[in-house]
Amino acid sequence: MDSLDGSRSSAPNNLENPKKVINPMSMARTKEHFERLLTDTDVRVLALSGKWGTGKSHMWKTVCEASTDSAIKAALYVSLFGVASISELKLKLVQSAAPLLGDKGPATDAIKSSVSAFKQFGQTFFRAGTALDELALLAVPAFVRDKFIVIDDIERKHAKLSIDEVLGFIDDFTQNYGCRVLLILNTDQLTDKTIWEKLREKVIDEELRLDTTATEAFEIAIQLSKSQFTDSVRPAVEVCGLTNIRIIRKVIRAVNKILDVHAPLSGTVLQRVTPSTVLLSAIHYKGIDDGPTTDYVLSFEASSRVLGAMRERNRTDHKPTDEERLHAKWALLLDRLGIATTDEYEKLVSEYLISGLFNRAAVDAVIDRYRREEELAGAQARARAFFQTMTWNPNLTDADIVAAAKKILKDVPYLDCYSVTALHNCLINLDDGLPIAKRMESAWIERLRSKAAEPGANSNQFLLNNWTGQPLLSSIVAAFEEVRGRVDKPKTLLEVCLYLVTSSGWDSTEESVMRSATVDDFAGTIKTIRGEDLKLFMLKNIDLYLNRATYEKHFGQSGTRFIEACLKIRNESTGTRWAKLIEDLLRESGLSDALDQNSSAA
């Protein structure tokens, strides 16, 4: 037989014969050789091996669909997954061939005649109630004679079925029934490799080992699992070296799940979120050999720092430990992915992969923050470019400068107050520049007010400390004073208590309000609120009183004053619904003693 390069081979027929086992190659090259071997009728038994999930079955199906050879098109396909005996294998072959009985032609007519004869034989030979499976086994030769048989998932066979039985079956059907056989298997997962190595030389004519590249695997996976993020996922998959198509599809689905609602995303934001999403998904689905752990990724600071430390150790003749070498390898991988640091986003992705539960609100908030940071950086860059062009291009007319200023109007809310002042002062002296300057001034002040109105706004954010004495618009200075006064407005007792309901922390402002609240403050607040506010106010203060050993160091005697306020209202409103509400709340909270003592004192 000719070797694949067209020359005649006289190499001895042993395990090292290159004609027998073609070295691992990419999918494109393997497919070319595969198609050639399928047309070579001297190759009775062909094996296609490679790592799990790298597209061996996919390659067969693709070649089969495109083939013009009638034998290949009519191939019988069986999977050995869970098959425990040769009888089960034969029955699967019958099931695979059965659809042919609906076709027309000499081959089909011959099979039908054979089956009819077997049925007639079965009626006279078998007693009533005999399993039809036994009859089907007798029909196997008629079904499979001169057929091309594909046997997949050999490594997933039942432990009771040995490799030598499978190879014995193949030898029998190729020698006695004129069949040709294709074996598709993952040799890495075979449990009886010794038998396989000994017997494949006796049965297998040629073996192709598929070594799918990450690019090839991705191109198959993306056709099966579509995504809006193909262009950003592909390079990350290639850097991670993912060749398992099933795992790549899972990675794609994870990316889609997390990012679909945010599309379209800019290239900058995609570069921030996609590589780490792909990496964490690949780690979770065990797609990277000796890859980093999830904990390593989540605690990662900067690859340059790790690699720099390694280079420093090399300069001092430090002999790295196995762990240091492994971490350096991981750091290099993250560096190639462009991951400089990880934060809350990666933790949320990891939690989703582990639990299957997706915190959409938290992920949305992080991605929105990335978008704002990008807008901020872009706005600052465009403002710098505007000033640079205006200063160093004397040929520009007033109209040119005003037109350029209009283009950066949308960036104004993201600039600092000094840049906005400089833009304003630059434009007011130009023809038609004043209206644009005013719009910039108003847009920036409105943004400042909006930020001050956000829940939990910190007054320190609105402290104007112009120690350099840079020029500032008087309207901006006034706006800072306005919003700071609004944020610094003293909080009411109700506002503080409702804040404590939803927050696990507080600052000195909340502590001061609670410590200074009197019995009359509590009573007055209770009597002026209704509905949900009343419910939350009462329940939170009961909780503070019940846990006063913890809270007194922060809130002083506020819990005790609250209870005194409740008893005061109850005594002043005897027989009313107010009194009943307070009595019910205190009794249900285990505070009956306070009620009883109050009643005795009265």
In this prediction, residues 282-296 reach a mean pLDDT of 91
Please provide the distance, in angstroms rounded to a whole number, between the alpha carbons at the two ends of the chain: 113
pLDDT digits over 46-70, tens only?
888 888 888 888 888 888 888 888 8
Q: How far apart are CA 448 and CA 451, in angstroms?
A: 5
Kindly state the DSSP code that residue 77 receives in the 8-state scheme. E
Judge contact between 476 and 421, C-beta under 8 A.
Answer: yes
Q: In this predicted structure, what is the pLDDT of residue 313?
A: 58
Please tell me whether residues 227 and 171 are part of one structural domain.
no
Chosen domain end from 151, 177, 212: 212
Please tell me whether residues 244 and 294 are part of one structural domain.
yes
Q: Considering the domain boundaries, does residue 47 fall inside one?
A: yes
Give 355-375 as a 3 state SS string. Answer: HCCCCHHHHHHHHHHHHHHHH
Q: Considering the domain boundaries, does residue 99 fall inside one?
A: yes
Q: In this predicted structure, what is the pLDDT of residue 538?
A: 93
Band (pLDDT 50/70/90 cuts) for residue 578 is very high
Q: Considering the domain boundaries, does residue 169 fall inside one?
A: yes
Chosen domain end from 444, 464, 487: 487
Chosen domain end from 178, 212, 246: 212
Question: With 70 as the cut, is the pLDDT of residue 447 above it?
Answer: yes
Residue of 467 and 365 predicted with greater confidence: 365
Band (pLDDT 50/70/90 cuts) for residue 195 is low
Q: Is the dihedral of CA 127, 129, 131, 136 positive or negative?
A: positive
Band (pLDDT 50/70/90 cuts) for residue 524 is very high
Burial status of residue 554 (CB atoms within 10 A of its CB: 0-12, 13-18, 19 or more): middle
Q: In this predicted structure, what is the pLDDT of residue 301?
A: 61
Q: Which two tokens stand for residue 108?
A: 């089909």
Band (pLDDT 50/70/90 cuts) for residue 505 is confident
Residue of 460 and 559 predicted with greater confidence: 559
Question: With 80 as the cut, is the pLDDT of residue 544 above it?
Answer: yes
Q: Which two tokens stand for residue 289?
A: 């050999």
pLDDT digits over 105-134, tens only?
444 444 444 444 444 444 444 444 344 455
Please tell me whether residues 33 and 181 are part of one structural domain.
yes
pLDDT digits over 507-517, tens only?
777 888 899 99
Q: How far apart are CA 311 and CA 328, in angstroms?
A: 10
In this prediction, residues 190-196 reach a mean pLDDT of 66
Q: In this predicted structure, what is the pLDDT of residue 124?
A: 46
Please tell me whether residues 260 and 307 are part of one structural domain.
yes
Please tell me whether residues 202 and 288 are part of one structural domain.
no
Question: With 60 as the cut, is the pLDDT of residue 581 above it?
Answer: yes
Q: What DSSP line would sit under 189-202, residue for residue?
A: G-S-HHHHHHHHHH
Lowest mean pLDDT among 132-136, 252-256, 425-429, 456-460: 132-136
Residue of 565 and 301 predicted with greater confidence: 565
- 45: β partners: 181
Q: Considering the domain boundaries, does residue 115 fall inside one?
A: yes
pLDDT digits over 358-415, tens only?
888 888 888 988 888 888 888 888 999 998 888 888 899 999 999 999 999 999 988 8
Lowest mean pLDDT among 85-99, 189-203, 418-432, 572-586: 189-203
Q: How far apart are CA 187 and CA 197, in angstroms?
A: 10
In this prediction, residues 455-470 reach a mean pLDDT of 73
Q: In this predicted structure, what is the pLDDT of residue 100?
A: 52
Please tell me whether residues 236 and 137 are part of one structural domain.
no
Q: Considering the domain boundaries, does residue 275 fall inside one?
A: yes
pLDDT digits over 295-340, tens only?
899 887 644 455 555 555 555 566 778 888 888 888 889 989 988 8
Q: Considering the domain boundaries, does residue 423 fall inside one?
A: yes
Question: With 50 as the cut, is the pLDDT of residue 81 above it?
Answer: yes
Residue of 442 and 486 predicted with greater confidence: 442
Please tell me whether residues 161 and 58 are part of one structural domain.
yes
Please tell me whether residues 431 and 391 are part of one structural domain.
yes
Q: Considering the domain boundaries, does residue 595 fall inside one?
A: yes
Q: What are phi and psi of 129, to 5 degrees?
A: 90, -5
Judge contact between 96 and 77, C-beta under 8 A.
Answer: yes
Please tell me whether residues 203 and 240 are part of one structural domain.
no
Does the predicted TM-score (pTM) go above 0.75? no
Residue of 427 and 21 predicted with greater confidence: 427
Lowest mean pLDDT among 39-53, 141-155, 446-460: 446-460
Question: With 70 as the cut, is the pLDDT of residue 45 above it?
Answer: yes
pLDDT digits over 233-283, tens only?
999 999 999 999 999 999 999 999 999 888 888 888 898 999 999 999 999
Q: Considering the domain boundaries, does residue 16 fall inside one?
A: no
Please tell me whether residues 227 and 319 are part of one structural domain.
yes
User: Which CATH number do you get for residue 47?
Assistant: 3.40.50
The per-residue pLDDT of the chain, averaged, comes to 81
Give how many domains the chain has, as a whole number: 4
Band (pLDDT 50/70/90 cuts) for residue 356 is confident
Judge contact between 278 and 259, C-beta under 8 A.
Answer: no
Please tell me whether residues 399 and 345 are part of one structural domain.
no
Please tell me whether residues 421 and 559 are part of one structural domain.
no
Q: In this predicted structure, what is the pLDDT of residue 406?
A: 94
Please give the residue range of the domain that contains residue 222: 216-358
In this prediction, residues 527-540 reach a mean pLDDT of 93
